[in-house]
Amino acid sequence: MRGGLDRSRHGETSEALYLNSGFVYPDAETAAARFAGEDDGFVYSRYGNPTVEMFEQRMCLLEGAEACYGTASGMSAVFGALASQVEAGDHIVASRALFGSCFQIVNTILPKFGVETTIVDGQDLDAWRAAIRPGTKLVFLETPSNPTLEVIDIAAVAELAHAAGAKVVIDNVFATPILQKTLPLGADIVVYSGTKHIDGQGRCLGGAILSTKEFKEETLKPFLRHTGPSLSPFNAWVLLKGLETLKLRVLHQSAAALSIAQTTRSLNGVKRVIYPMLDCHPQAALCRDQMTAGGTILTFELEGGRDRCFDVLRKLQIVDISNNLGDTKSLITHPASTTHRNLGEEGRAEVGITEGMLRLSVGLENTDDLIGDLEQALSA
Ligand SMILES: *Cc1c(COP(=O)(O)O)cnc(C)c1O
């Protein structure tokens, strides 16, 4: 709430929005000293900005990390965290059930630059063991995953990675910093899309990379300053306000998601409900170890495939059709025809995404109203 506040001489309550690109210097000597790194004042907003810095400091406190680098989007955080560390000939091991664009980065984009990637079933520790080899540079994973909510044993994978000298990068978007702290479990670098729960109100894009100070200074800065995926001060200001209500929103939306998951199981035509804290989740025990609640998203499978899903989407009156998630408005999507369309039928089969699957991001509406909306859409 209060961390990172850098109040100006005007004494504003809310953080000031420094919507500027450049900075002026009192004299040429100061300018020279800033460029020489002897004076830590601001130089240019691609390098740093007071509002962006307030967001970064608040994120550090929330995550329990030494350093944070704010970025323009979640994807620039993921790409920056990975690409800043590798060069041609390096080897990455990643879990298969990744956010679509994350999969593109490890499977298509980095290999174009000579980085070798091995993709594994993240739930299978033997697969990680077989894929990680001495000299593997990075291990990248997302847990719970999108949209099948698979859970990966972070501590076990981190132990394998560290034994081989690899760093562990975790996309913690679905869990949020409220429900899952991955640094104590062995993550070296944590990435977020600020677009999701951190803003959580559908307003802007943003991202963050959390790490040690040394990693930020020596690895991230030289890469990100020159490639330029800078977080806009305006977006940083929006995200700062989002952080103030993040805990309340995530805890409420998680409790609502659990209650909707429990109810949806018995609704007409529902084959299966996937939610990390349900007893029927294959890794329910691991979820309870790693997370303090199951998250704001649930996935369910209907009998009747795509036609039936589209029919339900047509009938929903409160929940909107959208591929976004973590919003205060409940949003639903049919992953096979939207977010995971590019994977192709075979790719979707490999990660268990079926034509009858719907992913629901639970918002802040009255939970009974949401259950009522699902009931009426499914009953017809
Ligand atoms: C949305 C998302 C991203 C990408 O974030 P953007 O802000 O859209 O660039 C990465 N990982 C996960 C798990 C996401 O849900």
Spacing, Cα 73 to ligand 1 middle (Å): 8
**Ligand 1 nearest-atom number relative to CA 196:** 1
Probe target for ligand 1 pocket from 101, 169, 340, with the most ligand atoms within 8 Å of CB: 101
- pLDDT at 6 exceeding the cut of 80: yes
Tell me the pLDDT band of 270, cut-offs 50, 70 and 90: very high
Confidence (pLDDT) at 191? 98
Spacing, Cα 353 to ligand 1 middle (Å): 18
Pocket lining: 73 vs ligand 1, CB cutoff 6 Å: yes
Give the residue, by CA position, lying nearest to ligand 1 atom 8: 74
**Ligand 1 nearest-atom number relative to CA 194:** 7
Give the integer Cα–Cα distance in Å for 239 and 366.
24
Tell me what the mean pLDDT of segment 318-340 comes to.
97
**Ligand 1 nearest-atom number relative to CA 325:** 15
Probe target for ligand 1 pocket from 71, 73, 75, with the most ligand atoms within 8 Å of CB: 75
Q: Give tens-digit pLDDT for 10-69.
A: 999 999 999 999 999 999 999 999 999 999 999 999 999 999 999 999 999 999 999 999
Residues 6+ apart with CB under 8 A from 344: none
Pocket lining: 207 vs ligand 1, CB cutoff 6 Å: yes
Peptide bond into 147 cis (omega under 30): yes
Tell me the pLDDT band of 327, cut-offs 50, 70 and 90: very high
What structural domains does the chain harbor?
28-241 (3.40.640.10), 246-378 (3.90.1150.10)
Average pLDDT, the chain: 96
Beta bridge partners of 91: 116
pTM above 0.85, yes or no: yes
Give the integer Cα–Cα distance in Å for 213 and 43.
20
Give the residue, by CA position, lying nearest to ligand 1 atom 5: 74
Pocket lining: 137 vs ligand 1, CB cutoff 6 Å: no
Pocket lining: 173 vs ligand 1, CB cutoff 6 Å: yes
Spacing, Cα 140 to ligand 1 middle (Å): 14
Output the CA angle 365-367-372, nearest 5 degrees: 105
Beta-sheet strand order (sheet of 189-193)? 67-71, 207-211, 189-193, 167-171, 138-142, 91-95, 116-120
- pLDDT at 360 exceeding the cut of 80: yes
| Percent of all residues in the chain with a pLDDT value above 70, rounded to a whole number | 100
Give the residue, by CA position, lying nearest to ligand 1 atom 11: 99
Pocket lining: 193 vs ligand 1, CB cutoff 6 Å: yes
Q: Give tens-digit pLDDT for 139-176.
A: 999 999 999 999 999 999 999 999 999 999 999 999 99
Is the Cβ–Cβ distance between 146 and 179 less than 8 Å? no
- pLDDT at 227 exceeding the cut of 90: yes
**Ligand 1 nearest-atom number relative to CA 98:** 13
Pocket lining: 196 vs ligand 1, CB cutoff 6 Å: yes
Confidence (pLDDT) at 193? 98
Pocket lining: 171 vs ligand 1, CB cutoff 6 Å: yes
Confidence (pLDDT) at 141? 98
Confidence (pLDDT) at 265? 92
**Ligand 1 nearest-atom number relative to CA 206:** 7
Structure tokens at 166: 């690899």
- pLDDT at 380 exceeding the cut of 80: no
Tell me the pLDDT band of 185, cut-offs 50, 70 and 90: very high
Tell me the pLDDT band of 102, cut-offs 50, 70 and 90: very high
Confidence (pLDDT) at 280? 93
